[in-house]
């Protein structure tokens, strides 16, 4: 199943810089692993914000929830999830 996931990150200014830097490093490693596995299909930065729009290709709601809640920056995110399906006028096929 495909999902569009919008993530807004809000790391508190009071969080220790070394802790924040480590969380960002861990987040990058995890996101790249999921991209290599094909689960995190697309990752787009929202210009001017600490935010992204991503496309996930996972088995369903539970798998997506488990992935998102395991992200190192998850405690500092506001997340919006939209399930996607093939549009009848689309030339490219989902897969």
Q: What is the pLDDT of residues 45-90, one digit of tens each?
A: 999 999 999 999 999 999 999 999 999 999 999 999 999 998 999 8
Full residue range of the structural domain in which residue 58 is found: 2-84
Q: Does residue 95 lie within any of the structural domains?
A: no
Q: What is the mean pLDDT of residues 5-18?
A: 98
Sign of the dihedral through C-alpha 64, 67, 70, 73: negative
pLDDT for 26 beyond 70: yes
For strands 51-57 and 2-9, give the pairing. Answer: antiparallel
The per-residue pLDDT for 28 is 98
Q: Does residue 91 lie within any of the structural domains?
A: no
Instruction: Report the helix count and the strand count for the chain, using DSSP H and E.
Output: 2, 4
Q: Does residue 70 lie within any of the structural domains?
A: yes
Residue with tokens 């990752």: 43
Q: Does residue 90 lie within any of the structural domains?
A: no
Number of domains in the chain: 1
Q: Please, which residues have CB within 8 angstroms of residue 4's CB and are 6 or more apart in sequence?
A: 53, 54, 55, 81, 82, 84
């Amino acid at each position: 199943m495909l999902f569009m996931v919008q993530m807004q990150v809000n790391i508190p200014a009071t969080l220790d810089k070394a802790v924040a830097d480590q969380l960002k490093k861990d987040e990058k490693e995890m996101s790249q692993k999921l991209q290599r596995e094909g689960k995190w299909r697309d990752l787009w930065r929202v210009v001017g914000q600490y935010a992204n729009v991503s496309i996930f290709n996972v088995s369903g709601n539970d798998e997506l929830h488990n992935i998102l809640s395991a992200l190192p920056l998850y405690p500092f995110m506001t997340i919006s999830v939209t399930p996607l399906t093939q549009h009848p006028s689309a030339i490219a096929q989902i897969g």
